[in-house]
Amino acid sequence: MSQLQKIEPSPLDLVVAIGAATDIGGRASNEDSIHAAELAESPPAPGGAPAPTFLLAVADGMGGHADGEVASRLAIETLAAAIGNEPGPDAGVLFKQAFRRANEAIYDEGAATGGDRPMGTTLVAALLRGKYATVASVGDSRAYLLRAKGLTQITRDHTFVAEEVERGALTAEQARRSPQRNVLTQALGFRQKLDSKLPAVYELTLLPDDRLLLCSDGFSDVLDNADLIAALLGRNAPAAAQLLVDLARERGATDNVSAVVAEAVPTRVSTVPVAAVRPRARLSTPVIILIAAIVIIVLVAAGILLTSNF
Ligand code: CA
């Protein structure tokens, strides 16, 4: 039998670990709501093998009195109920339905309570199945992907300044400093019907060691991309989420801050069975000397025997 046996590679080349943290920051109350739940295993594509499944979300509410807290909580609750514990394979369609329901629930609540400012919330959500991630967003909470020390913003902000940047009227730096940087063009609950093009949906495939970050806009005034990269690298997902929030507080964040981190942990499955890579038993030096001595004695004895016979 050959010493190297072929073994089947694992269907998963990574597992996902999740961390989440939220903090009141510099506000009187926390209008952010977060969600991180492991669901029943589900297939990433119709007919595919089921994979570990997670629903992650960050919502950043706004409105008078306690309306922001109510709006963000309603968004998360409606999303979680609409996705359920056993989501079907088409995450994009599921998110379209879930965001529509959340918009209606918040709009109805706002109309019923009649606050002085419109009740609304951002919502960024991700459905992860094994290495496949679908991200959906309305508003300016963001999803970032950290891959090989490079940070990419996955979501497009639904803000006045982001639209100005897209049409070339502002630079990214001007947008970052603009007093209008928090003015949203889209949110859940502002209008009776959500724009038919929303939510924006993004599909990505995670590679081992990638990090996916969902966060509210409270970080943007106090942490830059280099800070996000430094916090996400070299620590596990719960520690990274907590560090981001702690760092924002230390730097005097004036807004609520929330971070949900998914870490693609490589499973490092070997294609070589353990028995085949075990080092061969080595002879110790005294044993080698003993064997050499015996060989010499035998050879000398044989020599004496031969010379005595002839
Ligand atoms: Ca905020």
pTM of the model: 0.82
CA 26 / ligand 1 centre spacing (Å): 11
Tokens read off for 189: 């609950």
Which residues lie below 8 Å from residue 18, measured CB to CB, with a gap of 6+?
36, 38, 54, 56, 237, 238, 260, 261, 262, 263
Cα separation, 89 vs 51, whole angstroms: 11
Distances (CA, A) of 168 to 3, 171, 175, 283: 64, 7, 11, 73
Architecture category of domain 14-266 in CATH:
4-Layer Sandwich (3.60)
Cα separation, 5 vs 19, whole angstroms: 38
CA 186 / ligand 1 centre spacing (Å): 14
pLDDT at 84 over 60: yes
Which residues lie below 8 Å from residue 55, measured CB to CB, with a gap of 6+?
35, 36, 37, 39, 79, 80, 83, 87, 125, 126, 127, 128
Instruction: Give the pLDDT confidence of 9-32 residue by residue, as tens digits.
Output: 444 678 999 999 999 999 999 999
CA 112 / ligand 1 centre spacing (Å): 24
Mean pLDDT of 43-57: 90
CB under 5 Å of ion ligand 1: residues: 60, 216-218, 255
Mean pLDDT of 239-254: 97
Instruction: Give the pLDDT confidence of 89-148 residue by residue, as tens digits.
Output: 899 999 999 999 999 999 999 988 876 778 999 999 999 999 999 999 999 999 999 999
CA 256 / ligand 1 centre spacing (Å): 6
Instruction: Give the pLDDT confidence of 263-301 residue by residue, as tens digits.
Output: 999 986 544 444 444 444 455 666 667 777 777 777 777
Q: What's the DSSP call for residue 138?
A: E
CA 169 / ligand 1 centre spacing (Å): 25
Residues 176-179: contacts with CB within 8 Å, 24+ apart?
Answer: 176/220
CA 59 / ligand 1 centre spacing (Å): 9
CA 30 / ligand 1 centre spacing (Å): 9
CA 60 / ligand 1 centre spacing (Å): 5
Q: How many CA atoms lie within 13 A of 185 on its CB side?
A: 13
pLDDT at 297: 76
pLDDT at 283: 55
CA 210 / ligand 1 centre spacing (Å): 26
3-state SS class at 224: coil
E strand or H helix at 259: strand 257-266
CA 140 / ligand 1 centre spacing (Å): 9
Output the CA angle 200-240-25, nearest 5 degrees: 75
Give me the residue label for tokens 């594509």: 45
Cα separation, 120 vs 187, whole angstroms: 6
Q: What's the DSSP call for residue 161?
A: H
The phi and psi torsions of 205 (rounded to 5 degrees) equal -115, 120
Distances (CA, A) of 286 to 92, 186, 295, 296, 299: 69, 79, 14, 15, 20
Region of poorest pLDDT, from 40-49, 56-65, 81-90, 202-211? 40-49
pLDDT at 195 over 90: yes
Torsion (CA) 176, 178, 179, 183 in degrees, nearest 10: -70
pLDDT at 185: 95
Burial of 150 (0-12, 13-18, 19+ CB in 10 A): exposed
Chain mean pLDDT for the chain: 88
pLDDT at 6 over 60: no
Tokens read off for 256: 């609520």
Distances (CA, A) of 57 to 181, 255, 258: 22, 18, 10
Output the CA angle 80-228-240, nearest 5 degrees: 60
